[in-house]
Chain A
């Protein structure tokens, strides 16, 4: 069902641009450019298990969340014109200093509770509506696909270790807007929704079958915001914010999670 909407938006992205560009004015340069961005920052991760939820029976998540904090690094490459572009991104984040957060308090988890995540994402985006209402305000749409690998290690008393590895193939539809209030400043916001194919591997230190595998599906909602300040002809400094809510339906192992990160970085390119 999700694909019907995705296909509709994809058709819109491919079919509308000619007329939209004619109506939108001619301020955007037509030559293709390449921009590299590198950023580092702080991130947080929360996980709430949904336990044995079955397909078609929605069960709310745990009232307690596992939360960790850590560092995030990203590298991005944009190629294209002001109206359309290819975006590639790789990111790495690790979380530690974990706690169980209940509605009333938080309790520290063992020091070696941790999570890591490595992800890659590609997006094709077109700004169909340029100078929409206000000069410098553009609205566009995109399609994205990605792959992620994540590993979460938890410990339970007295000495039990549970490690869940998760590989995701994701796809999504992106709605984006950007504003250039001044020549040197640009603010961009993107909102993505989509689905995922999930493969999990759980390893339990005391289980008879030490490792069990399973397949499942998931969803994602990503919000990205970035403010660019151009400091020279080729160099831009930026601050970015990213927030995602995700979930996976795996037999007897469903969960919901979210990540948030604040980053600063530098970009190079025209």
Chain B
């Protein structure tokens, strides 16, 4: 019944009214930093902390470019909304990066902590990485790499955090053969963290060059290309990664 009514609704109000984007609103103030223009709601939490947020984002930008050995100097517009409803996002700590228009949207609510810095850094990384390296081939790479190069200058949600999390959640983490399969990707927090942890491990061990080669590889050929680039199978390096995280947790 509902399924049958849907196309009639689309046709009566127009497909674009239902599926198209919202209109732009101009209730913003903007502040420029080295690499970002921060758009904040007037008198919001984000406006009160825009200087610190810009500092964190500029540091992340520099870190990402350096760690991945990529070339990108574009200027990013960051739209910081007051709530999930304001941003049309699913939660009050959610965001979305838009590489084609060098923009991101994210909710920006108190407290001013590592989780907020991490969220904004992650979304900014989507834009930097995709514009410098092309369209990612898997969700695993798209979401994992955006977290794998997070700077820890202003907070602790970085490599060490992800490796410790891996050690403490080892039994709950899906096999990498599952994570690289787009048809099985659910976009859960665990998948994000596990992907970030493994990719951070790879960069730490072998540098960014193989990652750049792997970035656009699709699920069906990922394991084979991985083997060719690292000289070892995905399963082999998964074992090493899990052992590395477990050993680090013992230290």
Contact = CB atoms under 8 A, between A and B. Distances in A.
Same complex for A and B? Answer yes
Interface of A: 1-6, 9, 47-52, 54, 58-66, 100-105, 154, 156-160, 162, 173, 191, 193-195, 202, 204, 206-209, 212, 219-221, 245-247, 251-253, 255-256, 258
Interface in B1-48: 3-4, 6-8, 10-11, 14-17, 19-22, 24-28, 30, 37, 39
> How would you classify the secondary structure of chain B's contact residues: helix, strand, loop or mixed?
mixed
Given A1-B3, A154-B100, A202 B134 contact: yes
Nearest to B27: A103
A221 B17 contact: yes
28 contacts: A1-B3, A1-B7, A5-B11, A47-B101, A51-B98, A51-B99, A61-B21, A64-B77, A64-B98, A65-B24, A66-B100, A100-B102, A102-B37, A103-B39, A104-B39, A156-B74, A156-B102, A157-B74, A193-B14, A194-B15, A207-B135, A208-B134, A209-B216, A219-B16, A245-B15, A252-B135, A253-B135, A255-B100
Nearest to A8: B8
Contacts of B10: 2, 5, 193, 219
Interface of B: 3-4, 6-8, 10-11, 14-17, 19-22, 24-28, 30, 37, 39, 70-75, 77, 79, 87-89, 96-103, 105, 126, 131-137, 139, 142, 182, 187, 212-217
Nearest to A208: B213
Contact of A156 (B6, B131, B135, B215): B131
Given A51-B99, A202-B134, A103 B28 contact: yes
B28 to A, nearest CB: 5
Given A206-B133, A209-B137, A221-B16, 10 more contacts: A58-B19, A60-B88, A61-B98, A62-B100, A64-B102, A100-B102, A156-B102, A219-B19, A251-B182, A256-B20
Contacts, number: 179
Nearest to B133: A207
A245 B11 contact: no
